[in-house]
Structure 1
Amino acid sequence: MADVELSAPRVVLDADGWTDARVLARLHGQPVAEIDLDLGDGPVTTRDVEQRVLDRGDGVLEDHLRRDGIDRPGQEPPAGAARHRCLEALLPTTPRPAVSVVIPTRNRAGLLATCLDSVLAVRYPDLEVLVVDNAPADDSTRATVHERFGNDARVRYVRLDRAGASHARNVGARLARGEIVAFTDDDALVDELWVAALVAGFADDPSIVCVTGLTLAGSLETPAAQAFEAYGGMGLGLRPRLYDRDEHRGDTLLYPYTAGVFGASNNVAFRREDFLARGGFDVTIGPGTAVFGAEDLDLFLAVVLSGDRIAYEPAATVRHEHRADFADLYWQVFTYSAGFTALLTKWALADRRVAVDLARRVPRILPAALLASHRGGSEAGVGQYPAQLRWLERAGYLYGPLAYLRSRVDLLRGRTAGSAQAGSAVEPVPVLRDPAAAGGLPGALSGDLR
């Protein structure tokens, strides 16, 4: 995996023992293409990458050049301009809203530290970062945050008794000070323009309440990681898009119920007040429940069905590691598929209009979903991948409705994280540099890491 800035001098990519490379081509820090290169023919220069991008003919690079008013990647800004127009739009000199980044974590201090390094390196002036440590097995995460980041006033640490990434994100949003709340995961690496691009995605349009970004593979060194890319990966394209219920619709057959087209919780931002007003992520269908995890898709769907809009901004780029071995990949595909049909079940049971719409549309695609040997086309995934993934995908589709019903039964019986501790207070929360900043959260806040 390599990044190549097309406006830079002639960078050379050497093979260095590798046979192939996947290159993210950028212009002024923003992605314009992702291409695969054979390194067997010798070193690759920036000019080689630029030509390959132009040969693709998708027009992304050309459109970027046109918007910036230049003819070639290495050209200086137009006369009288200090920066290229794209950077003026992403990094304006006018005041911008405060942003709070929430990172849920549990027992992964090493990964968290690397993630935090990337978040704190973003180019954005008004930023805070909340590390929400949910039900840790030991004090290693708190110690790491204190030792590595205790002198950075932007970092705050919160410890919770209750496990669950959805609950951790919701608590982080409640404690946040920013007008915008952004979420990523402890195993992700964010780009330096990540926050700026998410904020720019709101575009002073109050109907846009959510902005998602481009999530790319951190590495493709194992057959399992490569199989997931063939299965569809997590990338959603290199052009900005707008999604809503009527005017700006996605091109999937079950839009808007195929909520994965909008993005994922490891690369998303919300207007904080709107996020809290909607109740945040549904903890009854998040990680740790029988549904395995569909809480982000559920919230995306709620946004669109309510008449609001989601913007997709590929300049908000995150690197996330795919599953490294097939056992983990098989489980991932099964749970993704189960989460999808569990989500459909939830909404069909909760909203009669959704139930009628799904009853009309699902039978048309059911044969392809369950019988086709490979997924293909705009409705789901691309490429060739191991047959086991297709079988596990089918099994997940069939299990999803049962998973949702099991989750509801667990809720009624008080066994889920959402209800088992509903009456308990959050344990004392050590908050870096500001131990009393979060008034209003149940439970007294105490403990200063200094």
Structure 2
Amino acid sequence: MATAVLDLDLINLPSEITGLTAYLKAFILIRFKGKPIGKITVPINNGSIRVEQIYPVIISEVEPILKKVWIKDFLGWDERDKIDFTYPKATIAICTRDRPEDLRRCLDALMQLPDDGQEILVIDNCSSTDESKKLVESYGSIRYIYENRPGLNNARNRALEEARNEIVAFTDDDAIPDPSWLRALLRNFNSPLVMCVTGMTMPYELETEAQEAFERYSPFGKGFYRKEYSLNTWHPLNTGKIGAGANMAFRKEVQNAVGLFDEALDAGTPTESGGDHEYFARLLLSGYTIVYEPDALSWHRHRRTWKETKKAIRGYGIGVYAFWMRLLIVEKQLGIPKLAYTWFIRTQLPNVVQSLLRRPGSQPLSLLVTELQGCILGPWKYLQSKRRIKRNHLYHDSY
């Protein structure tokens, strides 16, 4: 049976949660005064949860971080606050293609954000119908732009070019940002070295086995502690833990600092993914700082079928090795082969062995094999994508 996704704040806990007869267990995000501080999974009995019965689970999960959060709240202190800092204006960019139902859910969520003068920009990347255009027009205040070059990174680059404000915050069309999402991202641009901020993304629903498997295998949330990544503190080629493209923001000037997103990477190209993590690596290699901010919360609708989930995991495998290939041949990062070997020996191979032995908590073998297949294809897919782009440019230049 499915897993209920719940959102509870410690300062306003109900005594009982009912209406859960369709579920056997619940995935619960725990907050303190709106701030995400932990997550738990608990059983559901007879369609309800007696909250007092799950207190021990909550305490064991959130106690370390809750102490820090409570003290900071009591003192009214935040390390991100600067006396002379004012929030920059932002452009919110949603890159979409043929998903009007998801896009409507995302736009409805963005309508709940406090009005701080932000603009909302929808980049329609080669949708096959005009449904997305009509949907955006129904909101009135949202800018719609059609990008006729297929590829998510082409849409991202168009957003950077079209944005009118200092910060460009990206959300996927299948994501649902929290009302405090944008402000949480913006408050971290308090240093000129911070060129990018990523946020925490939780599952919007866990209605199918495939969605649950995806959340266990490749969660978008990267923990409940704020982190700063720089060349001095983090391996710049290992960017998987920094964040995800569904929840990230950049200074608009990033395109002048390190260039545009590589159009040979990510969805809509043979590489299928990797554009966000390659860009993170390029920022770190250029000496900039990336901040992971868990308060910048968004919810993501994972793929609902096994076919879609396996395709996504395969795409992630392709994307990792594709962006590593780019770093090797373009950025001349000669440590890539060692990084690939280390990942296989220390993580991928042990995970396969644990799955074959059916160890508790092991990942599905089908997903592990699917990812490895993608990794093998990754370098060649990047070269294929580059050749395709070159042919297209030659074709257009001849006219």
State yes or no: 1:171 paired with 2:158. Answer: yes
Deviation at 1:110, TM superposition (A): 2.2
Deviation at 1:266, TM superposition (A): 1.0
Letter in 1 for 2:118: L
Relative to the length of structure 1, the TM-score reads 0.79
* Residue 47 of structure 1, CA deviation: 5.4
Instruction: Rate the CA distance shift 1:171–1:276 in 2: closer, same or farther, 3 A.
Output: farther
CA RMSD of aligned residues (A): 2.8
1:97 maps to 2:77: no
- Which residue of the partner structure matches residue 428 of structure 1? none
Matching residue within 52, 55, 58 for 2:60? 55
**For 2:301, which of 298, 314, 321 is the aligned residue?**
321
Q: CA offset at residue 396 of structure 1? A: 1.3
Distance 1:398 1:192 in 2: 41
Q: Does 1:292 align with 2:272?
A: yes
| Counterpart position of 2:310 | 330
The equivalent of 2:124 in structure 1 is 133
Structure 1 position 19 matched with structure 2 position 42: no
Match of 2:357 in 1: none
Count matched residues: 389
CA 1:345–1:97: 2 relative to 1, 3 Å: same
Q: Conserved in 2, the CA contact under 8 Å of 1:100 and 1:130?
A: yes
> Which residue is 1:228 aligned to?
214
1:217 lines up with 2:195 in the alignment? no
Q: Is the 8 A contact 2:351 2:363 kept in 1?
A: no
Given that 2:199 and 2:248 are in contact with CA atoms closer than 8 Å, whether structure 1 keeps it comes out as: yes
Q: CA deviation at 1:229?
A: 2.1
Q: Identity of aligned pairs, percent?
A: 29
- In structure 2, the residue matched to 1:388 is 366
Match of 2:98 in 1: 107
Per the TM alignment, residue 259 of structure 1 is displaced from its structure 2 partner at its CA by: 1.6
Cα separation, 2, equivalents of 1:422 and 1:269: 33
Q: Note closer, same or farther for the CA distance 1:375–1:275 as it changes in structure 2 (3 Å cut).
A: farther
1:35 lines up with 2:40 in the alignment: yes
CA distance in structure 2 between the aligned counterparts of 1:211 and 1:105, rounded to whole angstroms: 21
Q: How high is the TM-score relative to the length of structure 2?
A: 0.89
1:262-411 maps to which residues of 2 (within 5 A)? 262-352=242-332, 354-355=333-334, 357-368=335-346, 371-374=349-352, 383-411=361-389
Question: Would the alpha carbon gap of residues 57 and 128 (structure 1) be closer, same or farther in structure 2, given more than 3 Å must change?
Answer: closer
SS at match of 2:228: strand
Structure 2, gaps ≥5 residues long: 355-359
User: What residue is the counterpart of 2:180 in the other structure?
Assistant: 193
Distance in structure 2 (CA, Å) of the matches to 1:110 and 1:422: 37
When residues 359 and 389 of structure 1 are mapped into structure 2, their CA distance, relative to the original with a 3 A threshold, is closer
Show the counterpart of 1:237.
223
Distance (whole Å) between structure 2 residues aligned to residue 422 and residue 164 of structure 1: 20
Q: Which amino acid aligns with 2:364?
A: P
Report the secondary structure of 1:284's partner residue: coil
Matched, 1:162 2:167: no
Taking the aligned partners of 1:28 and 1:225, their CA distance within structure 2 comes to 29
Q: Work out whether residues 231 and 383 of structure 1, in 8 Å CA contact, stay in contact via their aligned partners in 2.
A: no
Is the contact made by 2:20 and 2:47 (CA closer than 8 Å) also made in structure 1?
A: no
Would the alpha carbon gap of residues 394 and 94 (structure 1) be closer, same or farther in structure 2, given more than 3 Å must change? closer
Task: Give 2:14's aligned residue.
Answer: 10
Q: Which one is further off, 185-194 or 110-119? A: 110-119
Q: Secondary structure at the match of 1:283?
A: coil
1:410 CA displacement: 1.7
CA contact (8 A) 2:197 2:291 kept: yes
Tell me which protein shows more strand as a share of its residues.
Answer: 2
